[in-house]
Amino acid sequence: MSSRKKILNAIRGISREEKPLPSLPDYGVSGNLEEAFSQSILGNKGEILTTLELEAWIKEQRFEKVIALAAGFEQYSNFETPSDPHELDDLNLAILEGQFGVAENGAIWLDDSQLKHRVLPFITEHLVLILEKKNLYPTLHQAYQKIGNEFSGFGLFVAGPSKTADIEQSLVIGAHGAKSLRVVLI
């Protein structure tokens, strides 16, 4: 007998009381969504920038390799996205569009349609996400309602820069992924 059959048969052989699946209420957050979202991003060690602040920061940094896929920010691109994602290893900055954000925790949703390579938001040294203010939701409950069962091969909630506290619980930003996250609300 295959292990599949063995496992399923073993489970079927266990008598259990039927337990109903609860319906999910629609919890919200009180107060201003933009304010709550910004606080969450700061708490996750990210930053909130205006378009002008972003422009000044990029000018000052003089990055060698920038990929900007977000609509209206393509002018910052100076590097053609390679077909092999391994060549993104020395990418300094990726500017991508977030579909929507979650006020309670700062999570921003991206899927294959925003990413030429799935590794892009992780391998880049710095990550900038552009998010429209009208696309903010109170909690993850509304966020998953919004996603619905829309199909994407890969989807990601990103809420901050790569971080670790594995050495004596000291917070260090920039473990393996992006060393910073900047969010521009437009």
Hey, which residues between 95 and 114 contact other proteins (CB under 8 A)? Answer: 102, 104-107
CA atoms of 76 and 66, how far apart (whole Å): 7
Which one, of 183, 186, 185, lies nearest residue 95 by Cα?
A: 183
> Which candidate, 110, 133, 163, 128, places its Cα nearest to that of 47?
128
Window 139-178: residues binding other proteins (CB under 8 A): 139-141, 143-145, 147-149, 151-170, 172, 174-178
- In the complex, the smallest distance separating the C-beta of residue 74 from other proteins, rounded to whole angstroms, is 23
Does 71 contact other proteins by CB under 8 A? no
**Binding of residue 83 to other proteins (CB under 8 A):** no
Match 């700061």 to its residue by tokens.
42
In angstroms, the CA 104 to CA 170 distance is 24
Residue 23 tokens read as 């319906």
Nearest distance, CB of residue 79 and other proteins, angstroms: 18
Does position 93 bind other proteins by CB under 8 A?
A: no
Query: 56 or 172: whose CB is closer to other proteins?
Result: 172
